[in-house]
A and B are shown apart, each in its own frame.
Chain A
Amino acid sequence: MVENNNTKISAKDVDVFYSEKQALNKISMDIKEKEVTALIGPSGCGKSTFLRCINRMNDLIEICKVTGSIKVDNEEIISSSTDVVSLRSKIGMVFQKPNPFPKSIFDNVAYGPSIHGLADTKSDLENIVITSLKKAGLYNEVKDRLNEPGTSLSGGQQQRLCIARAIAVNPEIILMDEPCSALDPIATAIIEELIDELRLNYTIIIVTHSMQQAARVSQKTCFFHLGELIESGETNKIFTNPDNTKTQDYITGRFG
């Protein structure tokens, strides 16, 4: 494994409130470039909320208020002057439930590049679509039926289509919010392999409920509990020799 020390995302004192209720309390962490960072913790601990702060997806929720500082490539993103559109084009997101658009497989992947004007000609666009589908490991399965609706694929294929859709706009970071929780074990294994390959080119943050998955795919792990970041560090260390007793209890299955 190539070690690197470039910090891609740096969060400091991030608080999130839903109306009066505080969901995240003073979260600070650094996320390194081209690594997989797993966010684990019991339900309702705030790991998805934190993930959605990074691409400002929480803006969609009227009652949600985010304070503190998150820097992506040393640029502050928690501010009203942030260009959310360009931020989100730099940060792809894959959701818990596969959510392909009700369009053809081709159009699903071509959606991002065409709204961002990444392709000048039709063949450019085709190239981007095919490359993205290949990177997502889906191309061989769908190359004969690019014009069929994306919703006609199986759940695991749909999720890989969503990954292809996300990488088609050439992001630097990919956020994954429990990407395998709606999939069967075989589809999950395929996606995990894919994550391992994508790590070479992208910074990946993955929220997961499965500790085995976190241990398998990630290099760094952050353990959240009740809106606080309890412990973060090398995945190996967290899963073998955590500092905090709560982490120890969680990974050994004593609660959560």
Chain B
Amino acid sequence: MFFWSIVLILIGIYSSYILGKSRIKKLVYSTNLKPKSQYNYHAQYVLSWCLLPALIVYFSWAIFEEQIIQNLILDSFEYVEGAAYNDGLLLAEIRNVANNTDFSEGKSQEIINAASQYKSLKLTSEISFYISIIIIMVLGSLYAVRKINIQFNAQDTIEKYIKYILIFCSSIAVLTTIGIIFSLIFESFRFFSQVSIFEFLFSTEWYPFIPIREGQAGAEGSFGAVPIFAGTFLVMIVAMCVAAPIGLLTAIYLSEYASQKVRKTVKPLLEILAGIPTIVYGFFAFVTVAPFVKSFGQSIGIDASPTSALAAGLVMGVMIIPFISSLSDDVINSVPQSLREGSLGIGANKAETIKKVILPAALPGIVGAFLLAISRAIGETMIVVVAAGTAANLTANPFENVTTVTVQIVVALIGDQEFDNPRTLSAFALGLVLFVITLSLNVLALRIVKKYRERYE
């Protein structure tokens, strides 16, 4: 159905365009007047009246077809007295039989009947789909063609349609975001109906185990998220300790000391670091850095675990260097040259100028860059899963295992999980808190950056 409908729509597009163009040409020829809009716009007008209704038909079919067929089948299904039915399983079975992908023997008569009904409904639906899409395209084009005349301002109309299409596209992103927020909030409410919000936010015990059978001893789940947020914070601190100085000094070198040529080569190279998939950083952390941290810890007499906050934080720091260096470089570059000249003109040397004039002037922007990097570090998952472990320790020792919010979300959602289990639902509560934190960091960062821009432009 997909292939042929595309062909149909393409044919419709082509013929409606030609139709529109020939129509306006004919009008111009017969009246010998200058049309208000160019030929192309009239053609595009007819085209859009052909294409948009066709797309609406197409998508409504794609969305509603299966649903309607299913309801029809379930309505007319000959339920056998006394047998237990699950609608989903039943439908799956009927569909399998209809598509000849169910090879088990001994299908009951009512299933076979339903399957043949399903097949005939599918066929009817397909035929009516093609017919309606052709009719709607023809009707749409004819309506548009009738509206064309010399006085008709097709250009304005097309302009308006384009605006609507753009609004539609941008609203998709906004609506998706709102949808995500609502699903987070909704699932979190389910979690908080089982676990108190105060326990979640303030208790320090995270043992998300749920008793398998009623009254099982010693297996009461405990959902205190403090160790998880502490772990996230610890990894983030380690990462920023690496990334902040290196990134900032790199930015200063690039913007103030490096020649144009060096800058043009080094900056893109650095930005490649940002393009490496994070799981690759995870390998690196696990295979190279974690053993090194462990042996380093042993050499100074600290018992380091094989995966540690330090290993994950170090590698994560390397990962966010390009964020800091690239953004700070842009910010430092946008400090007006006149300030540099003013400082150098008094007899300050380069280092004094940077330290006392340029960095203070660029500070808000640099802080913004740091905040963006932090929110990136908090949201990072793969490196921590691989290199920091999954045990929720409440510790400030970077040589120990810790876990982060994102890792716990992954752990909670992996494998067979029931959605009424607080262990699974805890993922959404964690996600909600994480979302609030990174969102507020982003908003803060953007505000600071904006304020900075206003001052100099």
Contacts and interface: CB of A to CB of B under 8 A. Distances in A.
A and B pair up: yes
Interface of A: 55, 57, 60, 62, 85-90, 92-93, 95, 97, 99-103, 111-112, 115-116, 151, 162, 165-166, 169
A220 B336 CA distance: 33
Q: Which of B346, B349, B360, B455 has the most CB of A within 10 A?
A: B346
Interface in B342-393: 342-349, 352, 356-357, 360-361
Given A112-B346, A112-B347, 4 more contacts: A60-B337, A100-B342, A102-B360, A111-B346
Contacts of B360: 101-103
B347 A60 contact: no
B343 A166 contact: no
Contact of A88 (B259, B338, B345): B345
A116 B356 CA distance: 13
Contact of A115 (B336, B345, B348): B348
A169 B347 contact: yes
A165 B338 CA distance: 14
A243 B147 CA distance: 78
A88 B260 CA distance: 25
Interface residues of B, number: 22
A62 B347 contact: no
B420 interface: no
Contact of A99 (B259, B260, B338, B352): B338
A162 B341 contact: no
B340 interface: yes
A9 to B, nearest CB: 16
B339 interface: yes
Contacts of B349: 85
B344 A95 contact: no
B346 A89 contact: yes
B346 A95 contact: no
Contacts of A112: 346-348
A102 B361 CA distance: 6
B455 A57 contact: no
A99 B358 CA distance: 13
B344 A88 contact: yes
B260 A62 contact: yes
Q: Is the interface of B mostly helix, strand, loop or mixed?
A: helix
A53 to B, nearest CB: 13
B346 A115 contact: yes
A100 to B, nearest CB: 8
A97 B346 contact: no
Contacts of A62: 259-260
Nearest to B353: A115
B345 A116 contact: no
Interface of B: 259-260, 336-349, 352, 356-357, 360-361, 455
Q: Which of A55, A90, A115, A151 has the most CB of B within 10 A?
A: A115
B449 to A, nearest CB: 16
A92 B352 contact: no
The 4 closest A-B pairs by CB, nearest first: A89-B347, A93-B345, A99-B338, A88-B347
Q: Which of B344, B345, B348, B356 has the most CB of A within 10 A?
A: B345
24 contacts: A55-B345, A60-B337, A60-B344, A86-B347, A87-B347, A90-B347, A93-B342, A93-B345, A99-B341, A101-B342, A101-B357, A101-B360, A102-B339, A103-B360, A111-B348, A111-B356, A111-B357, A112-B348, A115-B348, A115-B356, A116-B347, A165-B342, A169-B346, A169-B347
Contacts of A85: 347-349
A169 B356 CA distance: 16
A99 B337 CA distance: 10
B356 A92 contact: no
Contacts of B345: 55, 57, 88, 92-93, 95, 166
Contacts of B352: 115
Contacts of B260: 62
A103 B455 CA distance: 13
A99 B336 contact: yes
A166 B346 contact: yes
A55 B345 CA distance: 7
B347 A95 contact: no
Contact of B346 (A60, A92, A100, A102): A92
Nearest to A108: B342
A148 to B, nearest CB: 15
Given A62-B260, A111-B356, A115-B356, A101 B344 contact: no
Contacts of A116: 347
Contacts of A55: 345
A165 B346 contact: yes
B348 to A, nearest CB: 5
Contacts of A151: 455
A95 B339 CA distance: 10
B339 to A, nearest CB: 6
B340 A95 contact: no
Q: Which of B259, B337, B347, B455 has the most CB of A within 10 A?
A: B347
